Amino acid sequence: MSLGHPDDVEAFRRLVLERSGLILSAEKDYLLKSRLEPIARAEGLADVAAMLRQVRLAPGARLAQRCIDGMATHESFFFRDATPFDQLRETILPQLLAARAQTKTLRIWSAACSSGQEPYSLAMLLMEERARFADWKIEILATDFSQPILERARTAAYSEFEVRRGLSDQRQARWLVRDGEMFRIAPEVRNMVQFRNHNLLDGMATLGRFDLILCRNVLIYFDPATKAKTLDGIAACLNSDASLILGSAETVVGLAGAFEPTPGLRGVFRVKEGQRAAA
């Protein structure tokens, strides 16, 4: 089946790139088809071709946004890749606790948080270490550009499959409450996370400064220019001794001059000395 008129398809590819940074090369036509067909059906449209025609005619309309959202990969799971969370508990958090002993505040940003497993994993880990900073003010900001996925994250309800994917029995018993067929994150963990709609292509200055940023498994979908611009924006949001954690398949090497790897820590980066002003 053809996806539609080549001009409509091309216009959609451009729109997705402009609004989300995601590259949809021609080899990804299978992805376009498999993700757009259910949306066309749900919208009561004849087929994807008819839908892409409408999107081209009204790129600012709700349908266009729904199709753009539909192209993003929302795959996520609790304590994904384990290593970043082990490094956080063993090295990064103790360093931050020592460095912020005076102000007793910690701001963490989970950028491109998808359905919430990443920020809730952070909150669980912090709750488990709570005794070390009982009277601290800790803020976890979790953002994504997809409104539907944020709504899902806010419900904090996960299926048994999602829960088993990353949460040990011990964590399940401690941090989940059964709710019919689903499992809900315990209120004390849920309340630590604030969700907000934010597109990484937009300005970041309004988000403030952070002591730790996790931006994992989203840059891989961006072209090099968008990756570099996003990393520059992130560099400007980090406090001087703060860290950026990327996904296991991502790196800043060759992309953003502002960052350098942190020796001994996998996937953890710091803003280079002397680059802060530039960022």
The binding site for ligand SAM (CB under 6 A) comprises: 20-22, 72-76, 80, 112-114, 118, 144-146, 149, 199-201, 216-218, 247
Cα(39)–Cα(14) distance, rounded to whole angstroms? 19
Of the pair 145, 259, the CB lying nearest ligand SAM is at 145
Closest CB to ligand SAM among 190 and 216? 216
- Asked whether the CA dihedral 59, 226, 265, 204 is positive or negative, the reply is negative
Residues forming a β-bridge with 268: 245
Angstrom distances, CA of residue 86 to CA of 46, 81, 140: 50, 10, 18
Tell me if residue 77 falls in helix, strand or coil. coil
Sequence-separated (6 or more) residues with CB below 8 Å from residue 126: 93, 138, 140, 192
State in angstroms the smallest separation of the CB of 134 from ligand SAM: 29
The span from the CA of 96 to the CA of 229, in Å, is 27
Is the CB of 100 or the CB of 246 nearer to ligand SAM? 246
| β-bridge pairing 182-185 and 210-215 | unpaired
Considering the complex, what minimum distance in angstroms separates the CB of residue 76 from ligand SAM? 3
CA pair distance 16, 24, nearest whole angstrom: 8
Q: Are 32 and 24 in contact (CB under 8 A)?
A: yes
Is there a contact between 243 and 94 (Cβ–Cβ < 8 Å)?
no
Cβ at position 203, least distance to ligand SAM in Å: 12
Shortest spacing between CB 110 and ligand SAM, in angstroms:
7
Residue 227 CB, shortest distance to ligand SAM, in Å, is 11
User: Residue 261 CB, nearest distance to ligand SAM (Å)?
Assistant: 19
User: Least distance (Å) from ligand SAM to the CB of residue 214?
Assistant: 7
Largest CA distance in the chain: 63
Q: Please name the residues in contact with 164: beta carbons below 8 A apart, sequence gap of 6 or more.
A: none
Q: Among candidates 243, 153, 229, which has minimal Cα distance to 193?
A: 153
Of 62 and 134, which has the nearer Cβ to ligand SAM? Answer: 62
